[in-house]
C-alpha cells in the first residue's frame, strides 16, 4: 500500500518521514457525535465525550505525521437549539480539555489558536482559551486552530466591511484591492490555505466552512462518525492525498 512507499516511520516518537506531498494544513469538520451516541442508545453527551478523546488522539497523530496546521471545526447546525444540559456540558469541554491536555500540548510544542467569535462563550471558557493561547503562543510545532462559532460568509462579510471602512477613511484605494487584501482580513490571516479537508459521518457538504480558503483544497469524506475516527483514518486520508497530484487549476 502507498503508505509503505511514502511513510517510513523512523521511530515512534519521531515525526513521520514522508518523501513528499504531505498536506501542510489539514482542516477537519468533526461530525457525527450525536449519531454515534444514538446508534448505541447513549445520551448525546456520551458522543461528545467520546469525540473529545478523538480530538486528543488526532492532534497527537497529526503532530507525529508532521502536519503543520490542524484546523478543527465542531459542526453542529442547532448549536444553540440544543437541550440546556447539552449546551452546559459543551461549554465545560474546553476548560476540561485544556486543564487535562494543555501540559501535553506544551510538551508537544503545539501552538493553540482560535478563529471565530469567542464572545458567545461563557467567561470561564474564554479565560481557559485565552490562557491556552498565551501559554503556547511561542511554540513552533503543530498549530492547532479551533473554529468556534465560526461561519465563512460572516467572516467574508466582516472582511468586506473592514475594507470598505479603510476606503472610507482614505487608507485604501479600490484599485489597490486584490486577493491578498481579502485574505489579510480573514480570521485565517497568516495561515496557509488547507491542503486537505476531511469531513466525517457521511455528510458531503461544506456547511459554510472556510469557503474562501478551501478554493483549491482536496476533499476527503468518510462515513465514519467522529468518535470512531482513528489515527489509521487520518493516515489513510494523508496517504490518499499524497497519491493525488495537485493541479491548482493547471492541466
Ligand X SMILES: CC(C)Oc1ccc(CN(CCC(N)=O)C(=O)c2cnn(Cc3ccccc3)c2-c2ccc3sccc3c2)cc1
Count the residues of the shown chain that bind ligand X, applying the rule CB under 6 A.
Answer: 25
Task: Provide the sign of the torsion angle of the four alpha carbons 183, 186, 189, 193, taken in this order.
Answer: negative
* Closest separation in Å from C-beta 161 to ligand X: 22
170 is in an annotated binding site: no
Strands 69-74 and 143-148 turn out to be: parallel
239 is in an annotated binding site: no
d(CA 42, CA 179): 47
Judged by CB under 6 A, which of 62, 110, 142, 148 binds ligand X?
148
Instruction: Report whether 208 contacts 153 (CB < 8 A).
Output: yes
Coil, strand or helix at 183: helix
Residue 149 interacting with ligand X (CB under 6 A): yes
* Closest separation in Å from C-beta 243 to ligand X: 27
**Residues 184-243 within binding reach of ligand X (CB under 6 A):** 226
Judged by CB under 6 A, which of 37, 129, 142, 186 binds ligand X?
129
Place of cell 461544506: 206
d(CA 245, CA 247): 6
CA dihedral 186, 190, 196, 197 (to 10 degrees): -30
16 is in an annotated binding site: no
Q: Does the annotation mark 79 as catalytic?
A: yes
CA distances from 94 to 33, 118, 126, 139, 235 (A): 16, 12, 9, 20, 26
Binding mask of the shown chain, residues 73 to 102, with x at each position contacting ligand X by CB under 6 A: -x-x--x----------x--xx--xx----
Residue 58 interacting with ligand X (CB under 6 A): no
113 is in an annotated binding site: no
67 contact partners, CB below 8 Å, separation of at least 6: 22, 23, 24, 25, 26, 142, 238
DSSP string, 48-60: HHHHHHHHHHHHH
Residue 62, φ and ψ in degrees, nearest 5: -60, -40
* Closest separation in Å from C-beta 138 to ligand X: 17
Binding mask of the shown chain, residues 13 to 52, with x at each position contacting ligand X by CB under 6 A: -----------------x--x--------------x--xx
Residue 163 interacting with ligand X (CB under 6 A): no
* Closest separation in Å from C-beta 196 to ligand X: 18
Judged by CB under 6 A, which of 22, 67, 132, 159 binds ligand X?
132
96 is in an annotated binding site: no
Q: Cβ atoms within 10 A of the Cβ of 51, count? A: 24
* Closest separation in Å from C-beta 90 to ligand X: 5
Q: Which residues bind ligand X (CB under 6 A)?
A: 30, 33, 48, 51-52, 55, 72, 74, 76, 79, 90, 93-94, 97-98, 112, 114, 121, 125, 129, 132, 146, 148-149, 226
Q: Which positions are annotated as active-site residues?
A: 31, 79
Residue list, annotated binding site for Mg(2+): 31, 218
Amino acid at each position: 500500500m502507498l503508505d509503505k512507499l511514502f511513510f517510513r516511520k523512523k521511530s515512534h516518537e519521531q515525526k513521520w518521514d514522508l518523501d513528499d506531498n504531505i498536506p501542510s494544513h489539514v482542516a477537519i469538520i468533526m461530525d457525527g457525535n450525536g449519531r454515534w451516541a444514538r446508534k448505541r442508545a447513549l445520551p448525546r453527551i456520551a458522543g461528545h465525550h467520546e469525540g473529545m478523546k478523538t480530538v486528543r488522539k488526532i492532534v497527537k497523530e497529526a503532530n507525529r505525521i508532521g502536519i503543520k496546521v490542524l484546523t478543527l471545526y465542531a459542526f453542529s447546525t442547532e448549536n444553540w437549539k440544543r437541550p440546556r444540559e447539552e449546551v452546559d456540558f459543551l461549554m465545560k469541554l474546553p476548560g476540561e480539555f485544556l486543564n487535562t491536555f494543555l501540559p501535553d500540548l506544551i510538551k508537544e510544542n503545539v501552538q493553540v489558536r482560535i478563529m471565530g467569535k469567542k464572545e458567545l462563550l461563557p467567561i470561564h471558557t474564554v479565560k481557559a482559551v485565552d490562557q491556552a493561547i498565551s501559554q503556547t503562543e511561542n511554540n513552533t510545532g503543530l498549530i492547532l486552530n479551533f473554529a468556534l462559532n465560526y461561519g465563512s460568509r460572516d467572516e467574508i462579510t466582516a472582511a468586506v466591511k473592514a475594507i470598505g471602512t479603510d476606503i472610507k477613511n482614505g487608507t485604501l484605494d479600490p484599485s489597490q484591492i486584490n486577493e491578498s487584501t481579502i485574505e489579510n482580513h480573514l480570521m485565517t490571516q497568516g495561515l496557509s490555505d488547507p491542503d486537505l479537508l476531511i469531513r466525517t459521518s457521511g455528510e458531503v457538504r461544506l456547511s459554510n466552512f472556510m469557503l474562501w480558503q478551501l478554493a483549491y483544497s482536496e476533499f476527503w469524506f468518510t462515513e465514519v462518525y467522529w468518535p470512531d475516527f482513528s489515527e489509521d483514518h487520518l493516515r489513510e486520508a494523508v496517504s490518499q492525498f499524497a497519491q493525488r497530484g495537485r493541479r491548482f487549476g493547471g492541466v
